[in-house]
Each structure stands twice: as C-alpha cells, then as structure tokens.
C-alpha cells in the first residue's frame, strides 16, 4: 500500500494518464479525418454498373433496372416495409439509378432478396449531364449535324469526339457570356451610374452626355458582335444529338449540349479508372457547382474562403497588435486595464452568431448605409456597401478573432526581458523606436501564433457569415478583370456554408452526402495549409530572434 502511495506521489500515473489522453485524442482526430477522406474522396471513383431484374415481392412483376450499388444495410422486416421474404432481418441495397427526369427517382432502396439475373455488361454507360444528374443506358444512335450514324467500329469514338467538341463550344460560350459580355454589362452599368452622378451634381451638359453616348455606342457594337457569335455557337452546339436505350427498353434522345462526359465503367481497366478518378477530382477543385451544388466543383467556395481569410488576417493583425501593445506597454496597470483584459477574454467566448448580428446591424446597415449616402448616392436606392458582402464578412470575423491575437501578443510581449527595453533606451532610442525595432520583432512568433489560431477559427465559421455576406451561389467572383478588380462589396461563397447548404438544404440528400464529406475534408486541408504557412513564418522568426530571447 505504501509503495502504491509513493507511486502516486511521484506523479508517474498522471504522466501516463496524460499520455494516454493525448494518444486517444490523436487517434480520434486521425480516425475522423480518415473517415471523412474515405467517404468523400471515394465518391469520385467510377463504380461498376449492374443490369438486373428486381421483384419488390415474390409475386410482384419484375422490374428491369440499371444502377450502381451505393450502400447496403441489414434491417428488420417491419422497417423494410414488411416484405414477404423469410427471416426476421433482411438485407437491402441503396442503388443509384440516375435518369431522374424519366423515373422521378435518383436513388432507391431495394431488397437484396428481390435481385435476380444481375450482370455487368461492358456496353452500359454512365452519362454525366449538366442537368438532372447521371443518365444510365446503352448508346443506340447518333445524329451528328443531321447525319444519322448507326453502330459501327467507330461508334463509341465518334460519340466521345462529339462530346469533346461540344464541351469546347460550351466553354467558349460560357467565356463569352460570363467574361466578355459580363464585362460589357459591368461597364454599361458604370456608365449609367456616371450619368446619374452628373445629374445629381448638376453637370449633365450636352458635352458630357455626348461622351457617355459614344462610350455606350462602342460597347453596344461589341455586345452585338458577341451576340452574333453566340448565335453561331449555339446553333453548332445544338446541331447534334444521341439516342440511349434505358432500363425499361425505351429509347430517349438527348442533345450533346446537355452532357459533360460519358464513360463505360465496366469496360475500364485500372489505369482508365485512375485517370477518370483524377479527372473528376480536378473538376471538383477547379469547376463551378451545378445541380443545386450536388454536382460539379467548388472552386468559387475555395476562392471565397481563402480570400476572406486573407483579408481578415490583414485587418485583425494590426488591430490586435496595437491593442496588445497599448495594454501591456502604455496603459496604466490599474483596475481599468484589468477590466479591459477581462472583457477581451470574455469576448472570445461570445457565440459567433452574436457577432453576425452585430456585423449586420453596425457594419452593413449603419456603416455601409452611410458609405452609400456619402460616396455612392448615384446607385441609391440600390445598395453598394449597405448590403452584406466580402468586406463586412471579413471585418466581422476580424472582430470575432481579435481577442485571440490580443492575448497571444500580450503573452509574447511579457516574455521579452526587461533588460532588452532598458538597454535600448540607454543607447538613446525612444520608446517608440524600442517598441518598433526591438520588442515587436522579438514578439513576432507570438503574434503569428495568435494569427494561426484566428485563421483556424475564422476559416470554419458559418453562422456569422450567413448574415454578413455568404450565399449559396455567387454569380461572379469578388476578384475579376473589371476595375477596381477586387470587389469588396460582392457576396461570395464559403466552404463552411457550402457544407451546411449541401448537407441540410439539398433536395437530393443521397447525392449530396458524399460531397459533404469531400468538402469537409477539403476545408480541413485548407485550414491546415493556411496554418502551415503561418507556422513556417513563425518558426523562421523564432529562430531569427532565438538568441535575443535566450539572452
């Protein structure tokens, strides 16, 4: 008993308990990330497509289905709809049938016992469409520019070539509509605002109106030329079609303009599947979303998240550092300063949605509305900055995270030896020079640590952003080729809100679930990447001033 008491008094059990708790935490975190990664990234692997007969009940008529098997589970007879199969429990499968515009269903639960004659023919294909999700069936006919092509040795290659041509035309159309015509519309709107500004300033003279009209005429000529080019491209895009035989034997005809790609998963070898996997993965990173965010990519959300975090970091760092320097170096250390420190620490515990309400009321309605009245009266009553946008979202998150930067910077300032300050002052430096040239550089690692914590929190916040700027689908990026290039008044997409929207607001839950995992994993990777950059900078600064800290 005495030995056990000595063992506890030595602290060894607590060391082991602490090590065990840390190990369990690491295992749980790594396991969670692994689960998210597997569930999300496996979605892009091309699954084999089965063709089979299905009987909902032994006496029911058979139903011919073409589908990929997405999940399976074992359920009780009552939960499965009280089937007439033997046993208290029965297996059922979740299948993805696609063809939602024809059958009305994309996913469906079926009983495993009702599946018969299951085969995996090489000719079955999966067509990824811009609308209505995947199309499953067999290619039976082509109509290329009015020429009907029957099945031959080049049937599939001709089909693939036409898909590639259609995608190139579609990309060109999107570039003209989104970039070129979008830029013209932006300039036309600026001219309208300029004319309104001249009217408000009583400068609407014939000379000024002639200048504006000349600019409008020039833009109109460019617009008409682009519209004519679009008409030719749309005619070429819609000139070809293909026919598919679906599961029930019907033959349906579709335009090439409606599809992204077509593959035969059952006929693909390992190398083909790997190539297709990385092609889909790159599309997920680089393309715009479609189909209510359940298809396509999430590039606008990635871009918006990174840009917002960068702007937030630029705003929060100077304010946090200045506040910490004042509290530690200049403010009298009395009850008032202690009260301010307590208030700063308490701010870190305020629910984030409260910051969102504050940002909406103060930044958007009060500050943004005042800016509109002072600097953008020509746009009123349509708001410019008096509406949620990128700037207000960044400022709101800066206020949310500034306590973290203040506390971390204060701790760094307290670790700088007093002798460093006194030596600098003794050599003739002013207090401001001592702070700027000596103390703050040595505090830089602590400031970066605070910034790392701020980035980690801000990048994952969703609740305040829903009130001050984030949207489900942004028509354009906040950064583009139109002056002033960085549009802080625009709304933007965010990975955290994208996860919420796809996971809880999607009309197609089963199709959205893998994208929730994939986007969550990407958000984790993005936060880790931003933190690694900050940690690298901090470590370099720490090594640079290590000798000064040791002295």
Is residue 342 located within the same domain as residue 403? yes
- What CATH number has the domain bearing residue 469? 1.10.3720.10
pTM here is 0.86
Q: Which segment, 79-93, 291-305, 531-545, is predicted with the most confidence on average?
A: 291-305
pLDDT level of residue 82 (50, 70, 90 thresholds):
low
Let me know if residue 322 belongs to a domain. Answer: yes
Q: What is the mean pLDDT of residues 79-95?
A: 69
Does 176 have pLDDT greater than 90? Answer: yes
Is residue 112 located within the same domain as residue 193? no
Least confident of 227-241, 315-329, 411-425: 411-425
Does 255 have pLDDT greater than 60? Answer: yes
pLDDT score recorded for residue 88: 66
Q: Give the list of residues 6+ apart from residue 36 with CB closer than 8 angstroms, or none.
A: 517, 520, 521, 524
Is residue 185 located within the same domain as residue 101? no
Is residue 329 located within the same domain as residue 213? no
Does 50 have pLDDT greater than 90? Answer: yes
Does 51 have pLDDT greater than 90? Answer: yes
Let me know if residue 139 belongs to a domain. Answer: no
Does 226 have pLDDT greater than 60? Answer: yes
Q: What's the mean pLDDT when you consider all of the chain?
A: 86
Spatial separation of the C-alpha atoms in residues 387 and 495, rounded to whole Å: 21
Is residue 368 located within the same domain as residue 493? yes
Number of folded domains that form the chain: 3
Is residue 310 located within the same domain as residue 442? yes
Is residue 430 located within the same domain as residue 516? yes
Does 80 have pLDDT greater than 70? Answer: no
- Choose the final residue of a domain: 217, 237, 257: 237
Q: Cβ(405)–Cβ(447) under 8 Å?
A: yes
Q: Cβ(50)–Cβ(119) under 8 Å?
A: yes
Q: pLDDT, tens digit, for every residue of 483-526?
A: 888 889 899 999 989 888 888 887 777 888 888 899 999 888 88
Does 347 have pLDDT greater than 60? Answer: yes
Does 5 have pLDDT greater than 60? Answer: yes
pLDDT score recorded for residue 423: 86
Residue span of the structural domain in which 72 resides: 50-121
Does 195 have pLDDT greater than 60? Answer: yes
Q: pLDDT, tens digit, for every residue of 456-468?
A: 888 888 889 999 9
Let me know if residue 79 belongs to a domain. Answer: yes
Secondary structure (3-state) at 113: helix
Is residue 313 located within the same domain as residue 213? no
Output the CA–CA distances (angstroms, integers) from residue 285 to 248, 297, 302, 429, in the order listed: 36, 6, 8, 52
Let me know if residue 541 belongs to a domain. Answer: yes
Is residue 202 located within the same domain as residue 338? no
Q: pLDDT, tens digit, for every residue of 132-162?
A: 888 999 998 898 888 888 777 788 888 999 9
* Angle value at C-alpha 152, between 148 and 156, nearest 5 degrees: 85
Let me know if residue 468 belongs to a domain. Answer: yes
87 or 501: which carries more pLDDT confidence? Answer: 501
Does 547 have pLDDT greater than 70? Answer: no
Let me know if residue 95 belongs to a domain. Answer: yes
Let me know if residue 213 belongs to a domain. Answer: yes
pLDDT score recorded for residue 1: 66
Is residue 108 located within the same domain as residue 182? no
Let me know if residue 141 belongs to a domain. Answer: no
- Choose the final residue of a domain: 215, 237, 259: 237
Q: Cβ(75)–Cβ(90) under 8 Å?
A: yes
Partnered with residue 458 across adjacent β-strands are none
Spatial separation of the C-alpha atoms in residues 551 and 538, rounded to whole Å: 20
DSSP state of 43: G
Is residue 178 located within the same domain as residue 320? no
- Choose the final residue of a domain: 216, 237, 258: 237
What are the contacts of 205-213 at 24+ separation with CB within 8 A? Answer: none
pLDDT score recorded for residue 173: 93
């Amino acid at each position: 008993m005495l030995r056990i008491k000595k063992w506890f008094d030595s602290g060894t059990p607590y060391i082991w308990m602490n090590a065990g708790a840390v190990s369990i935490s690491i295992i749980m975190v790594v396991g969670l990330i692994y689960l998210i990664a597997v569930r999300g990234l496996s979605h892009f692997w091309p699954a084999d497509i089965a063709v089979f007969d299905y009987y909902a009940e032994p006496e029911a008529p058979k139903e011919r289905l073409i589908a990929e098997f997405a999940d399976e589970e074992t359920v009780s007879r009552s939960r499965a709809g009280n089937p007439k199969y033997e046993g208290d429990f029965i297996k059922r499968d979740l299948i993805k049938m696609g063809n939602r515009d024809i059958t009305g269903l994309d996913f469906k639960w079926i009983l495993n016992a009702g599946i018969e004659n299951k085969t995996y023919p090489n000719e079955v294909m999966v067509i990824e469409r811009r609308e209505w999700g995947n199309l499953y069936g067999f290619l039976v006919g082509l109509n290329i520019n009015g020429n009907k092509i029957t099945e031959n040795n080049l049937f599939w290659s001709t089909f693939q070539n036409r898909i590639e041509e259609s995608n190139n035309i579609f990309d060109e159309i999107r570039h003209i509509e989104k970039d070129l015509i979008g830029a013209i519309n932006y300039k036309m709107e600026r001219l309208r605002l300029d004319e309104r500004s001249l009217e408000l300033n009583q400068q609407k003279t014939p000379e000024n109106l002639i200048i504006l009209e000349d600019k409008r005429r020039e833009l109109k000529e460019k617009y008409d030329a682009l519209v004519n080019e679009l008409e030719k491209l749309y005619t070429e895009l819609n000139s070809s079609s293909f026919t598919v035989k679906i599961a029930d034997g019907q033959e349906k005809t579709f335009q090439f303009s409606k599809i992204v790609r077509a593959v035969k998963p059952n006929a693909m070898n390992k190398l083909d599947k790997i190539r297709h996997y990385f092609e889909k993965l790159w599309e997920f990173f680089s393309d715009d979303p479609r189909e209510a965010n359940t298809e396509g990519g999430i590039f606008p959300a990635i871009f918006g998240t990174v840009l917002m975090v960068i702007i937030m970091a630029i705003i929060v760092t100077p304010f946090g550092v200045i506040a910490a320097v004042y509290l530690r170096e200049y403010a009298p250390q009395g009850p008032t300063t202690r009260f301010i420190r307590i208030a700063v620490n308490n701010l870190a515990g305020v629910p984030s949605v409260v910051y969102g309400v504050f940002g909406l009321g103060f930044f958007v309605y009060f500050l943004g509305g005042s800016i509109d009245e002072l600097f953008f009266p020509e746009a009123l009553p349509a708001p410019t900055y008096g509406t949620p946008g990128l700037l207000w979202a960044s400022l709101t998150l800066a206020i949310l995270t500034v306590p973290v930067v203040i506390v971390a910077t204060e701790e760094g300032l307290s670790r700088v030896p007093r002798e460093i300050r006194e030596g600098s002052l003794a050599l003739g430096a002013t207090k401001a020079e001592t702070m700027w040239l000596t103390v703050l550089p040595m505090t830089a690692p602590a400031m970066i640590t605070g910034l790392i914590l701020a980035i980690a929190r801000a990048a994952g916040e969703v609740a305040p952003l829903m009130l001050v700027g984030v949207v489900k689908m942004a028509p354009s990026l906040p950064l583009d080729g139109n002056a002033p290039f960085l549009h802080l008044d625009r709304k933007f997409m965010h990975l955290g809100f994208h996860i919420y929207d796809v996971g809880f607001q999607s009309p197609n839950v089963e199709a959205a679930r893998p994208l929730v995992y994939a986007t969550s994993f990407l958000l984790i990777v993005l936060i880790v990447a931003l933190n690694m950059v900050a940690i690298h900078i901090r470590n370099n600064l720490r090594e640079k001033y290590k000798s000064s800290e040791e002295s």
